[in-house]
Amino acid sequence: MGLPALSPGDAATEVGHALNKVLGAYRFYAEGHAALVEVQQRLSEAVRRYHEVTSEAVVLHVRSSALLLGDVVLVESASAKDSVTRPLFLEGVQEVLLQPGLDSEELSAFLGMWHRAIQRTLPPEYDFYTWFWERGFEDIELVVAEVPASAETGESAQAEAQLAEREEQLFAELTRRQASGSGRRRPVGHDEWLARLEAEVLAPVSAQDLVRSGAPAFAGASDTELAELRALLERERGGEGVHERSLWVVWGLLAVCREEERSELLAWMEELLSGLVSNGRWAELSQVVQGMTRDARASGARTPDLYAVTRLFFREKTRFALAQATAQPGLLLRVLELLSALPRDALQGATDLLFELPSPEARGALAKLLVRRGISLNILVARASSLGEADLDWVQFLRESGPESLPLTAALLGHPRPEVRAALLSRLSPRDVEAQRSPLLKLLADPAVGVRGAALVLLVRYGVDAAVGPLVSRLDARMELRERMAVLRALADLGGPIAGAALRSSFERAQDIELKTHCARCIGILGDPRARPLLEAVANKLFAPRNLKQACREALAQLAPVG
């Protein structure tokens, strides 16, 4: 049985879902990124299916805060200000027609223009529909009205235009210079400034709007004014300390401050963030981060402000507060949720936090978050000495991530604490042994006897013949009896002519009866026929110790026949 036929309504819903995916993807991926190309292709396929079902063009009805296809609402925003249709609506675009036969390349080019209009990054000499007509699209049409109808949303085009005009007027008033030509800024009292900033929402600013020299400044303000402003920013609410309203005020000021004032504003922001973290205001922090991210996506000019603010989470004061919070039961998840909402660029600074977290569980959880977000943890190589034995459990997934993890394993093999080196040796896989052969051979001469023993066991287990040379050299060093016997047994297990010669020499030179007996057994395990005269001489000696003579006879029985 074939699949049920797709209804026009379902086809329209499919177009809306795909369109939302594309507009969302533009927030995270640059033009040409594979992920963006994939969602664009899905939209192209959804549009093609709509054409097949209806045999009609896809007619997108543009409203101030919504996009409709027939009766189906494809995209809808809570307010006209946050709407993706706003730049089209304000320029009179009433409908967008996607005609049958539209190819994915032309659709992708149109979506790129739409995104640039949302971000206010169109070329300065163009508005949206002028650029559209100049591009000469063949299967996409615009219906442009002088006054777009918007009765269906309850808003008039005139009201929308007035809103845009008021936003621009407010920004102009707050950034105006005096007309005298003196270059001095028009004085704006701080109380008036804050009241107006809190009462009205500034329009998304463009790069030109952020010319710092023309913006209001705190330069010249009295100490009393600054103290009052600071008190306002840090006022308490219900005895709970600083709160999100203060953060929003500073965020607003960052949009229009001069460059020399930026550091002071960021210092205030850092104090506010660390205060919220210390007081466990996780919901407020998440709301603020999400709101600032939305602002930055709506206006590309705020992106540097977003990165500057979110990087503050990893400055010393806030970083310490985050680390302390993870030590409290149940708060690690809240910290990770907050960090996961930060931009990837800001998370580059999270590696310092990694080493300050009090528990291996917290460090492991953060490391997985950073890897998932594409943050390189190569710094672990340089700071491997900061890791302890308990960290090896969560470091394991990093060491198994591929060839790029080899330097981390090598760095841990050189860890200053012998217990960490020994613990790591017990976790190495055959692939690790093959890749780390040179550092492992060096550990056969490690100052710590426990590390030497662990390395010896590992190399013998995986039959690393290259260990024979270093082990033979070890026989010339001073060692306790048990360790020397372990080295001799390792030579017997690894085998080869060099190992056989070393065992014969050790058998001849050994004065200790227990050691000589052990050498005889090792020669038997190796099966070296060249040792036959040495073993026979001892086995036939009248007054040789019984255990030694018995070991020599058993070894003789194991020797390979003389060729």
| 341/498 Cα distance (integer angstroms) | 61
Low-confidence ranges of the chain (pLDDT < 50): 1-3, 146-156, 167, 170-172, 174-218, 234-242, 563
Q: What is the pLDDT of residue 170?
A: 47
Buried residues in 423-457 as b, exposed as e (16+ CB within 10 A): bbbeebeeebbebbeebbbebbebeeeebbbbbbe
72 phi, psi to nearest 5 deg: -90, 125
- Confirm if 369 and 349 have CB atoms less than 8 A apart: no
Q: How big is the CA angle at 461 (ends 434 and 471), to the nearest 5 degrees?
A: 85
Q: What is the pLDDT of residue 118?
A: 79
Contacts of 1 (CB under 8 A, 6+ apart): none
Q: What is the pLDDT of residue 196?
A: 44
| 477/466 Cα distance (integer angstroms) | 19
Which token pair is 123? 């070329």
DSSP 8-state secondary structure symbol assigned to residue 177: B
- Confirm if 219 and 260 have CB atoms less than 8 A apart: yes
Q: What is the pLDDT of residue 556?
A: 92
Give the H or E element holding residue 66: strand 66-69
Coil, helix or strand for 222?
A: coil
Cβ neighbours around 483 below 10 Å, total: 16
